Amino acid sequence: PVVGGDFVVVTDSAGRLLTTTVAQGRPVALASVTPTLARSTARHTARGTVQHGRYDGASRLVVLQRNASRLAWETTVVGTRAGEASRLTVYVDAHSGRVLSTREHVMEGTGSSAWAGTVSIPTSGSGTSYSMTNANASTLKCQNASGNVTFTGTDDSWGNGDATNRETGCVDAFYAAEQERQMLSTWLGRSGMDGSGGWVPIRVGLNDVNAYYDGTQVQIGHTQTGGKWIGSIDVVAHEFGHGVDDHTPGGISGAGTQEFVADTFGAATEWYANNGTDRPDYTVGEQVNLVGSGPIRYMYNPSLAGDANCYSSSTPTSEVHSAAGPGNHWFYLLA
Ligand SMILES: [Ca+2]
Ligand SMILES: [Ca+2]
Ligand SMILES: [Zn+2]
């Protein structure tokens, strides 16, 4: 087989030739089609181009036709590159053993989010069948809360920027969760929400002015007016922050500390994402404007929302979100 020497032939419904396109104008020119590099050596080289690599099928001898013709071993390997899932086809020169070319098969989808602009999201699938299942973490999915069905599509383009649309809500939430996954891995050396690569599904469509984590899912509700799904970075990463906390020794933190712990994961994820639309800050919910009065918490000055800046004897008995004030303030000063 010749790789890079494709012909496109267009016919009408009766099979009559309409037009042809030739991708490669240069003739194939090879002195020999007998390799001097062993197949096993080429396979080993190919596997070394990814981390934690394994082979995906057999290798075949091909002519790699670019500016010149080269005899090459074609091998597909599965692993990770820079922490991201990879399924890579690698062409190794069948004489010199050099890597001539690679082709990545794991593609990032594109989403039109409501709160974070146009974003790349690591969905799963190929051809005409895609789903909002994270290619880097298969238990991280985004679903419609009605029926708990994972969003699917015939292309890898998601949402429409309208915050009242559930698929758009999933673009926001899925993007936020992926940024948190990367933040946990890159900054904290942690694999996934549970520390072993595991997550719970996100479900957009909760009929409440709220979002929550319950150990089995993250539910995303809507704004008080306008029915906008509230899957911004700080909200979603807050909920999965509860999930991280839930998978630490001793389980989820006690009442007075659980909300500030979750807020720190929200803020850290926002700073990691460094998104051009949802700029990093130390406020909670500034994008979604949950109840129409801007952020619901101010980590740099909790008193702006009526919460305490510093610890007092009344902190342990405060409402759990209000009790986050001293911890949030501490985190801001530390950060
Ligand atoms: Ca922000
Ligand atoms: Ca924020
Ligand atoms: Zn919370």
User: What would the DSSP string read from start to end of 94-162?
Assistant: TTT--EEEEEE----EEEE-SSS-EEEE--EEETTEEESB-TT-TT-BEEETTTTEEPEESSSEE--S-
Distance 313 CA to ligand 3 centre (A): 22
**DSSP H helical segments within 160-199, as ranges?**
166-188
For residue 256, the SS3 value is helix
Give yes or no: 239 in active site: yes
Give yes or no: 321 in active site: yes
Distance 46 CA to ligand 2 centre (A): 43
ipTM of the complex: 0.94
Angle 290-331-245 from CA coordinates, rounded to 5°:
75
295 contacts 283 by C-beta, under 8 angstroms = yes
Q: Which domains does the chain have, with CATH numbers?
A: 35-104 (3.10.450.40), 109-334 (3.10.170.10)
Distance 282 CA to ligand 1 centre (A): 8
Q: Alpha-carbon distance 286 to 279, whole Å?
A: 10
As to burial, measured by CB atoms within 10 angstroms (0-12 exposed, 13-18 middle, 19+ buried), residue 29 is: exposed
Q: Alpha-carbon distance 115 to 112, whole Å?
A: 9
As to burial, measured by CB atoms within 10 angstroms (0-12 exposed, 13-18 middle, 19+ buried), residue 18 is: exposed
Distance 110 CA to ligand 3 centre (A): 29
Tokens of 308: 């305490």
Per-residue pLDDT of the chain (335 residues; tens, 9 = 90+): 888 876 778 788 899 998 887 767 788 899 999 999 999 999 999 999 999 999 988 999 999 988 889 999 999 998 888 767 678 899 999 999 999 999 876 667 789 999 999 999 999 998 899 999 999 999 999 999 999 999 999 999 999 999 999 999 999 999 999 999 999 999 999 999 999 999 999 999 999 999 999 889 999 999 999 999 999 999 999 999 999 999 998 888 887 899 999 999 999 999 999 999 999 999 999 999 999 999 999 999 999 999 999 999 999 888 888 999 999 999 999 99
**Running DSSP on this structure, what letter comes out for residue 305?**
G
Q: How many helices (H) and strands (E) does the chain have?
A: 5, 21
Q: List the catalytic residue out of 222, 238, 321, 329.
A: 321
Q: Which ligand does the CA of 240 lie closest to? A: 3
